[in-house]
Amino acid sequence: MHNIDLILTLAGGLTAALTLGFITQKLRMSPLVGYLLAGIIVGPYSPGFVADADTASQCAEIGIILLMFGVGLHFHLKDLLAVQRIVLPGAVAQITAATLLGMLVSHGFGWSWGAGAVFGMAISVASTVVLTRVLADNKALHTTTGHVALGWLVVEDLFTILLLVLLPAVVGGTEIAENVWHILGITTLKLAALVVFALVVGQRVIPTLLAYVARTGTRDLFTLAVLVMALGVAVAAASFFGASMALGAFLGGMVVGQSEFSARAAAEALPMRDAFAVLFFVSVGMLFNPASLITEWPLILATLGIVLLGKPLAAFLMVKLFGKPLRMALSVAVALAQIGEFSFILAAMGVSFGVLPPEASSAIIVTAIISITLNPLLYRRIETVAHWLESKGIGLPHLEEADLHPTGAQRIIVVGYGPVGRHLTRILRDNNLDVVVVEMNIDTVQRQSAKGEKIIYGDATQREVLVHAGAEEAEGLIVSSSSAPAGEIVEVARSINPNMRILVHTTYLSVAENLKHEGASAVFSGEREVAVAMTEYLMRDFGATDEQIERERRALRESM
């Protein structure tokens, strides 16, 4: 029989994740808890079906790549540069604090100072998947708080890459250790080369290639093109620059995100992202050995104390030292109060080199599972804690202006930039309304973008595209093209913003009533408007008065 490990792992892991994720959601807990429990059930330490650990791990890596590519799509370089003043010293201070605490705690268990340092560094790094998922679920991913947390994560990622490269040199013997500075220099140059390549060369090449594919008008090819970009840049980052695949995918996403393809790429090309990200949590659960709770519980409790108290406290103090609001400090601290994928890698490497004892790996796995389970629940309590502290006169009463919903002109989304869409856009902008156009013709998008127009390339039937256009805060949406799939657009728009006014242009009168039932606020049919215009012209030509024309126009509109 041929090998079906991949199919069995996907079927078993996803089925268990669906079942337990649904149950935990119904119990008002985060589905992440269900995914971790699913991993424990299909793991090697539980009876019954056992998923293939290596296959699950590789699927989880794909999930991390796609997730970080998606984050990069909406995280521009200017966002990273805007928070560099706080994330660089903040991340360094938090890593230092966690490392020192790890050294002190582990020394109490009889470990060497070197083992403690590696252990502390391993638990100082937060999980990419957990942080982005928690921020996204709480609509904080694209706020100033989200940018600080993600920037912090990028610094931790770079630190981890350097550590993974240097650890073998430091513990590999005197001869190798003498080359530490040489290895550090080479690694730094490689990382710098990756950033330059991605943001300079990639910015010229990748959008050009995507534009060629987009002009074919074939959705499958565009989806494949973006998946190739995500996976290709990630693999190239690891193979040629010695970086992590997650960092490479993040940079690749930033390149695509600065082009006009970001919304469509996020909507169409990442359908597998969530499924593979779920497999990350399943793969973490598979590592859990219940016996370790009995044998290593003192070390587990000490590690949990560092991850859930020491790390967040250091992050909180650093954010407050830079004069940021209380809620931002709490949000960043809680978001970083967990560990994940890089912690496992560092611990495994430390054990393989004989620096760490085997129980270190078990403690990190259990701590990861517990901290990942608690993290979404703790993040939801931030608002309550902030209110209580503010009632006692502690902290600032409001978030930063950038964290609030944008104020100013009312936003209107216009779908389609044909003759009707162009005229509507001009009229609305002349009346000081904030208009964002969604258009599927890439040439039109590039041409209007060059003129400074707010125009997005993408399919308005895709939720991600409308969210990117600002549908959550928009006052209205106009489907200006009669050939657009108005019913699907109305359904998606209503699910995002039930209070938004939706105006639809359609050709046929028979479709108009259906669109109203589906949620359109008003429908303008080509057949009706032509009949009204022709009737008005004829009556005026025959000498009818304005009053007679208006009466007939009203009667005609009501009858059709």
Query: Which domains, and CATH codes, for the chain?
Result: 5-391 (1.20.1530.20), 411-559 (3.40.50.720)
Q: What share of the chain is helix, strand, coil (3-state, %, to 5)?
A: 70, 5, 25
For residues 234-245, average pLDDT = 81
Strands 434-439 and 411-415: parallel
Q: pLDDT digits over 525-550, tens only?
A: 776 677 767 777 777 777 777 777 77
Strands 434-439 and 522-525: unpaired
For the cut 70, the answer to whether the pLDDT of residue 393 exceeds it is no
Percent of the chain with pLDDT over 90: 16
Give the distance from CA 36 to its chain's centroid: 20
The kind and range of the H/E element at 435 are: strand 434-439
Axis-axis angle for helices 180-196, 144-171 (nearest 10):
150
In degrees rounded to 5, what are phi and psi of residue 504? Answer: -125, 135
Distance from C-alpha of 116 to C-alpha of 100, rounded to nearest angstrom: 8
The answer to whether residues 13 and 38 touch, using CB atoms and an 8 Å cutoff, is: yes
For the cut 80, the answer to whether the pLDDT of residue 310 exceeds it is yes
The answer to whether residues 475 and 501 touch, using CB atoms and an 8 Å cutoff, is: yes
Q: pTM of whole model > 0.85?
A: no
The kind and range of the H/E element at 78 are: helix 77-82
CB atoms closer than 10 angstroms to residue 451: 7
> How far from 413 is each of 285, 338, 362, 512, CA to CA, in Å?
43, 39, 52, 20
For residues 26-47, average pLDDT = 86
CB atoms closer than 10 angstroms to residue 482: 18
Tell me if residue 437 falls in helix, strand or coil: strand
Structure tokens at 494: 């209503």
The answer to whether residues 359 and 147 touch, using CB atoms and an 8 Å cutoff, is: no
Distance from C-alpha of 340 to C-alpha of 132, rounded to nearest angstrom: 12
In degrees rounded to 5, what are phi and psi of residue 436? Answer: -120, 125
pLDDT-wise least confident of 89-103, 114-128, 190-204, 489-503: 190-204
CB atoms closer than 10 angstroms to residue 112: 14
Tell me if residue 497 falls in helix, strand or coil: coil
**What is the residue-averaged pLDDT of the chain?**
82
* DSSP type of residue 50: -
For the cut 90, the answer to whether the pLDDT of residue 514 exceeds it is no
Output the pLDDT for position 553.
65
Query: Which stretch, 140-144, 424-428, 506-510, has highest mean pLDDT?
Result: 424-428
Residue written as tokens 């140059």?
A: 189
